[in-house]
Amino acid sequence: MTRQTDHPKHFYFMGICGTAMGAVAAALKDLGHRVSGSDNGVYPPMSTFLEGKGVQILAPFNPANIPADADFIVVGNAMSRGNVEVEEVLNRKLAYLSLPEVLKEQFLRGKRNLVVTGTHGKTTTTSMLAWLLESAGAEPDFMIGGLPVNFGMGCRLGGKTDFVILEGDEYDTAFFDKRSKFVHYLPEVVVVNNIEFDHADIFENLAAIKLSFRRLLNIVPANGAVVINGDDTNSLEVAEGCLAQVVKVGFGEGCDLRITGVEYLPESSRFVLDGRIYQIAMAGEFNVRNAAMALAAARAAGFAPEMLGTALTAFRGVARRQEIRGQTARGIFVIDDFGHHPTAMREALSGMRRKFPNRRLWAIFEPRSNTTRRRVFQEDLPEALSGADGVCIASVPNPEKVAVENRLDPDLIVSDLVARGVQAFHEPNADAIVTRMKSEAKDGDVLIVFSNGGFDRIHDKLLDAL
C-alpha cells in the first residue's frame, strides 16, 4: 500500500462520516489520493467538511456504491457482517483494510510515534503531549479522540514532521481484526496512564485487557520508552519484562519521576516534578497525573524540561472534559464531562469539589457505554457517584440490546445512594431529568453531566429550563 502521491490510489471508506474515518479520509485527499465513501447517515459537520475537500459521499449503504476502480476499501470499526457493502466486498474478494492499518502505512511508517494509552485520561494526556511538542517547535501530527481547545481540531496528519502523537485506544480494530487498535501504531514511546476493567462487550475480564497491553509493550523498540503510572499495580504488572526503557511516574517512593508539592487551587493545580514547578489550568489529581505523564513522554522523546513548563501553563483543556457549558441567571453551572467509568466520574467529582467549594454538586449520568449499560459496575457506581450531593440517573438506552439479567439496574443504584445519604433519582430520559432538576436545583448549584454521547441535548435543555 504505497504512500507516494506520484502514484495516487483510490480509497473508498465504508462509514466515512465517523470522526476518525472522516479525518483520515480528508488527510489522504490532502496527500493527493482519490477518496470517496459511504455511510448510512450523512450529516454536518462531517459531511460538509468532506464535501469541502472534494470527497464524494454516498448514502445509504448499497453494493452499487463501491467504485469499480477502488484500490482499497477502508472498513470502519462500526461495520459488521450483514452490512450489504461488507458482504459485497467479501463476495468480490476486494482488497479491504481497517482504519488503523491505513494509518500505519500511510502516516506512521518511519515516523516517531508517541502513543498514549490507559483506561482513563487518554484524550487529555494526548492533547497535552501534542501541545508540549507544538510549543517546542516540533509541529507534530496528531490523532486525538476529542477536541483540544489549543488546536481547535482533533486530527492533523500528513505534515513534514518527524513526530505523530496518537491516542491509543484498546478497543478492537475491525470485525475482521479483534486486536486492539493501538497495536498498529508503531510506537516509539508508549504512555500507560492506568489499567482497569472496561469495554465489557470486547474483553471478558481484566486479564484479557492486560494481555492486550502486554502485546503493545512487546512491540516498543529497545531504544524506545514506556512511561507508566508507577502507582498503578496493573500498569506495573504489564510492564514486567519490557525490553524498552520503563519510566515510572507517580506519587510513590518507587517512581523514577515523583510528583510532589501538589497544590490544588480552585482554578488550577500546581506540582513539582524532578525539581521543577509546573502549573495547569485544570483541577484535580487526575489532571496532575495526566500532566506529569505528558511531561515524562516529551522528555523520553528528547525534549528538554526547560522547554515544557510555559507550554503546560498555556494548555487550555479538551472539549467535553469538565467543560463549563454555561451559567444561568441563578448562578447554576452546567458542566459537560465525557466520563462513563466509575473511576473517571469519582475523580471528576473530586476535581469539581475543589473548583466549586461550598456549592451543592449534582451528578447527572446517562449509562450509555457498552459497559455501563451492563451490571459490570452495579456496585462501583454508587460509590463513585456518592461524591455528589444529588444524583439523577437516566434509564439504560436501548435496553433490548442487553439481557435483563445482565443489564444495569438504575433503581438499585438510587437505593444504594439514598442509603449513603445522597439524594438520588432515576428518570426515564433527558426531558424527565430536566423536569426533576427544575424542582430540585437551587441557586448556585453545579450540575455535571456524565455521558459519552449527546444525551438528547440535555446541557442546552438544562440551561434553558434553569
Give tens-digit pLDDT for 309-345.
Answer: 889 999 988 876 778 889 888 899 999 988 778 888 8
Kindly state whether residues 222 and 73 are assigned to the same domain.
no
Taking 60 as the threshold, does the pLDDT of residue 3 lie above it? no
Does some domain include residue 404? yes
Q: Would you state the pLDDT for residue 209? A: 94
Kindly state whether residues 162 and 298 are assigned to the same domain.
yes
Query: Mean of the pLDDT values across residues 208-231?
Result: 97
Identify the weakest region by mean pLDDT among 102-106, 114-118, 308-312.
Answer: 308-312
* Cell reading at 252: 510513590
What is the count of structural domains for the chain? 3
pTM of the model: 0.81
Does some domain include residue 4? no
Kindly state whether residues 191 and 162 are assigned to the same domain.
yes
Does some domain include residue 1? no
- Residue where a domain stops, chosen among 268, 287, 313: 313
Write out pLDDT tens, residues 282-291: 888 889 999 9
| Sequence letter at residue 91 | N
Would you tell me the crossing angle of helices 285-300 and 342-355 to the nearest 10 degrees? 110
Kindly state whether residues 309 and 329 are assigned to the same domain.
no
Kindly state whether residues 227 and 302 are assigned to the same domain.
yes
Kindly state whether residues 262 and 156 are assigned to the same domain.
yes
Kindly state whether residues 200 and 225 are assigned to the same domain.
yes
Domain containing 63 equals 10-101
Taking 80 as the threshold, does the pLDDT of residue 379 lie above it? yes
Does some domain include residue 2? no
- Residue where a domain stops, chosen among 292, 313, 334: 313
CATH of the domain at 23: 3.40.50.720
Taking 70 as the threshold, does the pLDDT of residue 375 lie above it? yes
| High-pLDDT (> 90) share of the chain, % | 71
CATH of the domain at 231: 3.40.1190.10
Q: Would you state the pLDDT for residue 341? A: 83
- Residue where a domain stops, chosen among 81, 101, 121: 101
CATH of the domain at 410: 3.90.190.20
Query: Mean of the pLDDT values across residues 255-264?
Result: 94
Does some domain include residue 429? yes
Confidence of residue 6 (pLDDT cuts 50, 70, 90): low
